[in-house]
A = this chain, B = another copy of it.
Amino acid sequence: MNETLELLEEHRLFGGWQQRYRHTSSSVNGPMTFSIYLPPTADDTPPPVLYWLSGLTCNDENFTTKAGAQRIAAELGLVLVMPDTSPRGETVANDPGYDLGQGAGFYVNATQAPWAAHYRMYDYVSSELPALVREHFNVSDRQSISGHSMGGHGALMLALRHPERYRSASAFAPIVNPSEVPWGRKAFTAYLGTDETTWQAYDTCYLLAQTTARLPLLVDQGDSDQFLPDQLQPARLAQQAEEQGWPLTLRTQSGYDHSYYFIASFIEDHLRFHASHLKA
């Protein structure tokens, strides 16, 4: 590893630093941008890291500016890392829809043209970015992962495929069964092709039935979420978890929708959940 980081901006925030970096990613074969929050530290003890994966149309700044997570991260001594949701740029394939292409990487390694050239967000988020963060920042190996909607899918899927890398995973309104809902089927068909057996490695409901490691999972879902009936359906995940005896906490939040206002209202619970599992 000899990747350089270009600091795009930094701001003092809750006694720590909110920073934004650009670097050249070998995984996606081009530039990537991520944001990071470094909490105030009393000594040189390397803090653990929570990765946050955002949803459709988002980049690294939505959670950074809207969720209010840094206040709690500062208190708990958590580093927050927010990657972008896809590769970007004029040479990167795109689609007119908001749910495919730039801003909609779905955290998979695409195998189909024209996507395969750059859309390798699975490798980027699971391997390259954590290595980069460990190389450039004073952080421990302990990490957890969370996300929203498409990013909730990403967080749960990555944690189930690499339970040895994450202490815990959580999600807000995740797409738990992408193989069976319109958003997921459109994206997986484009990125992975029509052989649906190749989709299973990226489907949380399928993975939960296959994985034997039992890392703690927390999911919040608003019952006024417009995408609940057609795209999200967390009851499918709850049923799988019950059948597998998996430690899943699924909470239904009355009156909450799919927005960042929902995330802001409950992010403190998620950070405290992760912090309890990230203790050395």
Contact = CB atoms under 8 A, between A and B. Distances in A.
A257 B12 contact: yes
Contact of A71 (B13, B14, B68, B254): B68
A70 B261 CA distance: 10
Interface string A231-266: 000000000000000000000011111011110110
A261 B12 contact: yes
Nearest to A224: B12
Q: Size class of A's contact patch? A: 20 to 34
Dominant secondary structure at the A interface: mixed
A65 B66 contact: yes
Interface in A50-92: 65-66, 68, 70-71
A14 B259 CA distance: 13
Interface string A9-44: 001111100100000000000000000000000000
A124 to B, nearest CB: 26
Contacts of A163: none
Say how many copies of this protein the assembly contains.
2
Contact of A13 (B14, B15, B18, B265): B265
A201 to B, nearest CB: 35
B18 A261 contact: yes
A60 B194 CA distance: 46
B259 A11 contact: yes
A48 interface: no
Nearest to A260: B65
Contacts of A264: 13-14, 68, 70-71
A250 B248 CA distance: 48
Contacts of A257: 11-12
A18 B261 CA distance: 8
A11 B263 CA distance: 11
A36 to B, nearest CB: 13
A15 B254 CA distance: 9
Contact of A12 (B13, B14, B71, B255): B255
Interchain residue pairs A-B with the least CB separation, the first 8: A68-B68, A12-B255, A11-B261, A13-B261, A12-B256, A14-B265, A65-B66, A11-B259
